[in-house]
Amino acid sequence: MADEVASHYGGAGDLAGAIADRLRQAGKDMDRLTTADLASVDEFHIRGRKATLELAASLNLDGNSRVLDIGSGLGGPARTLAETFFCHVTGIDLTQAFCDAATAMSGWVGLADRVDFRQGDATSLPFDDHAFDAAMTMHVAMNIAAKDRMYAEARRVLKPGGRFVAYDVLQGEGGEVIYPVPWAREPSISHLATPDAMASLLRDAGFRIVATEDSTEASQRWFEDMAARMAGSGPAVTFQTFLGADFATMARNQVANLRDRRIRTVSYVCEA
């Protein structure tokens, strides 16, 4: 199953090279690149960089914080946190091609010394107990059946009292998901929890839930805008760079999935 998930995301070969080509085509100067220039491709979750900054505000970060990003993708959220709070962020991700691209892209924007990325599985983290002050995971658990192990691992590596933010796509009440979607081209690698199951999973892992926010309406508007841009000339550098041409179909399906409440987006601020 892990191989199927990694090949869903990382099948496109040299991702950093492909993204650099797109950035140059969009007129970006590769010697003066900022994290904002990358945000349309490296913040790979609904509502993008805005959501990252909103959620990060709950993590109580400062310049001494060591933060773990579980399922770090291309590293956009890790770089956003490192740049904003001057903290150090470690990213772990199943997809080696994403880890390689995340490392290269961090060098492009001068953040290589404040982030690091390694390949690994969220259900078996290669870190000591209590190694991190805070942790986050955004749009990752949809690919993970063993969510009990994932959240138990997040709890294990956090210091007591440390904050954990989980922002994920959940199963809604409006019916079955319409595929393909950005995390799966068909149902075998999609494992959505319901909101009730999600709260139980987090509590059973030993977290206290401090706040919950359902952002489904804002997510619907965000994907409606994205689908409209895809139907026009499209943003120059987006998830299509690694998901391929069917991202346009995925975006249309996400509008329907969100509008029908087949899916919901919910974030949980937790304390270890």
Ligand X SMILES: C[S@@+](CC[C@H](N)C(=O)[O-])C[C@H]1O[C@@H](n2cnc3c(N)ncnc32)[C@H](O)[C@@H]1O
Nearest residue (CB) to ligand X, 169 versus 233: 169
The yes or no reply on residue 185 touching ligand X (CB under 6 A) is no
Between CA 238 and CA 240 the distance in angstroms is 5
The yes or no reply on residue 83 touching ligand X (CB under 6 A) is no
The yes or no reply on residue 180 touching ligand X (CB under 6 A) is no
Query: Total residues at the site for ligand X (CB under 6 A)?
Result: 23
CA distances in angstroms from 83 to 19, 33, 56, listed in the order given? 21, 14, 12
Binding residue (CB under 6 A) for ligand X from 35, 82, 87, 98: 98
Binding residue (CB under 6 A) for ligand X from 22, 37, 38, 45: 45
> 């505000």: which residue's tokens?
57
Asked if residue 190 lies in contact with residue 143, where contact means CB atoms within 8 angstroms, the answer is yes
Nearest residue (CB) to ligand X, 162 versus 182: 182
- The least distance separating ligand X from the CB of residue 72, rounded to whole angstroms, comes to 6
- DSSP letter at 253? H
Asked if residue 198 lies in contact with residue 268, where contact means CB atoms within 8 angstroms, the answer is yes
Residues 114-153 that bind ligand X (CB under 6 A): 121-123, 138-140, 143-144
Between CA 257 and CA 262 the distance in angstroms is 5
Question: Helices 195-204 and 147-157 sit at what angle, rounded to 10 degrees?
Answer: 40
Binding residue (CB under 6 A) for ligand X from 183, 223, 247, 268: 183
Binding residue (CB under 6 A) for ligand X from 19, 44, 104, 223: 44
> Cβ contacts of residue 225 below 8 Å, gap of 6+?
none
Contact residues: ligand X, CB under 6 A: 5, 9, 43-45, 71-73, 76-77, 93-95, 98, 121-123, 138-140, 143-144, 183
